Chain A
């Protein structure tokens, strides 16, 4: 007993009665946590704000020693200049077309194949699935030389189609849909549909697709983002019909770089994805937390 008393005086904090009550799932953290998160938030958003500050100023802003905090009044002038130097709407249109087609194709084919791998029995299924998983590690980026030769041979260079072709399917998409569907459609449901006389495609359409919808939404989001942000391949194969990223990079390639214009352009190119983020940010977060995008 005296031993216990001794201990409690030596380390009162550790065995203070009711200490465990302090730890519970709904205990709120202190201000330090919020302070750290706020600092991280500022760090995450300041570069964007900085691009707005520079993009709305004249070049004079560069002479200020301290980080500029307030935007100037030049934003619309600079926007107009961006419109003068690149055909913003055309490149935006190109990006939209490319990203939408890629997204549609990847999601459609991934859902079909993912559903087959998850729920249908057929010869060679296991082997083919292993093949899909193995190809996850293959970076398509490294095949750019033959791909470029192929496009040139076919005379497709410079077209939007050439930009899309390399990413019309992804092994990741198939794997992702398979993983989702394997747990989210009960086998009985498919059997019931078959017994009721539904064809295979009918079963897929009436049972598979509704069940796959949440995963399809997440896959669409990530595929769209990946396609939208791609730079290497569009720059290489179709500089004549630039996507937004390619046009943006061209803003900077002039001999004399006007950073205020470059910053305005960077901001303008970011706005579409920021809008998407505002609309679908929650899904994006849950997608990442579900391990949605692995490379």
Chain B
């Protein structure tokens, strides 16, 4: 028996003579098999993780990273939908877009619609979350009920609301007429059209955000509320002094996701007014940036300039992301989780043992 046997079996070795017998051959075979299995096990251990993550990275490189980088390549060329790649033009496309009133108009519309949707949405969502945060009957029913709009797809939402906002026969103008008020040109005037589009966004997302905020509110320790109540703080006072400060990180998260989503708004303005041949209203009253980008690329065939718009929008999103990171970083630094890593030695220990060090729930950091 060879000495390299991974698992020697002394008893057998002592009994066997050194002549090759059928048993010995079988044993050697088993041993080789074992060694192979051992090797396979080691390779398995070492390389399997890469096998597990590679589908994601390969596909992501193909459909996420490559298009983004290639967008940049297209943006520095004079690229046409039909004739393909033209001359290298450097940053000319960017310059052209920065000088284009249509680009700025689209940015203005995007931010206007975003603000009109984000602010009321956040206020109402927080309020509804506070209502749900009480010990209400039929919790699950109410939680589910606020989520109904979320399962209506944006296309359907837009169709429903664009019917309701119809200037001649829509529900809203009919109602205004019945109340002897002036009807509003929802699809022609700039501000009303932004309001109408913001309403669609709000309707679909308010309940959803209320649930995220509700989760944060439930992570606030009950004792805090109780001791404040003993000290005589009423419900409203407790809401402003305890609940709101505690959910700030989640609030920032909600704001940021709303911003990223809001900057990419497309379906609602695209389908708002079917009779307009120009996407985003006859005078581009509500043409958002992604809609402008789409129009530029697929109606006018100017891939180069459309790609420049895509990259500028991407940069805006990155900037907002970085701001988010900085703000939430500042806020999260008060949580005990990250502190010891930044402050070495004795000082860290002191902070760790400090009773308020662990006040903030890590669940709120998301």
Contacts and interface: CB of A to CB of B under 8 A. Distances in A.
B153 A273 contact: yes
Interface in A233-276: 236, 245, 248-249, 251-255, 257, 259, 262-263, 265-267, 269-270, 273-274, 276
Given A146-B71, A273-B151, A137 B318 contact: yes
A75 interface: no
B135 interface: yes
B79 to A, nearest CB: 9
Contact of A65 (B70, B132, B175): B175
A125 interface: yes
B240 interface: no
Contact of B131 (A22, A36, A282): A36
B160 A34 contact: no
Nearest to B213: A289
Contacts of B59: 109, 168-169
B50 A289 contact: no
B146 interface: yes
A289 B260 contact: no
Bin the interface of chain B by size: 35 or more
Most buried by A among B52, B66, B271: B52
B211 A270 contact: no
A140 B63 contact: yes
A106 B65 CA distance: 17
Contacts of A281: 144, 147
B232 A23 contact: no
Interface in A206-241: 225, 228-229, 231-232, 236
Interface string B3-22: 00000000000000000000
Nearest to B312: A142
B219 to A, nearest CB: 10
A169 B303 CA distance: 26
Given A28-B136, A135-B64, A143-B67, A44 B207 contact: yes
A109 B152 contact: no
Contact of B153 (A11, A68, A245): A245
B68 A142 contact: yes
Interface string A22-53: 11111111000110110011011101101100
Interface in B172-187: 174-175, 177-178
Given A23-B226, A112-B56, A143-B67, 14 more contacts: A20-B229, A33-B131, A44-B207, A65-B175, A116-B52, A137-B321, A143-B310, A199-B41, A200-B48, A232-B267, A266-B159, A270-B153, A289-B212, A291-B212
Interface of A: 11, 14-15, 19-20, 22-29, 33-34, 36-37, 40-41, 43-45, 47-48, 50-51, 54, 62-68, 109-110, 112-113, 115-117, 120-122, 125, 128, 132, 135, 137-150, 165-169, 171, 174, 199-201, 204, 225, 228-229, 231-232, 236, 245, 248-249, 251-255, 257, 259, 262-263, 265-267, 269-270, 273-274, 276-277, 281-282, 284-285, 288-291, 294-295
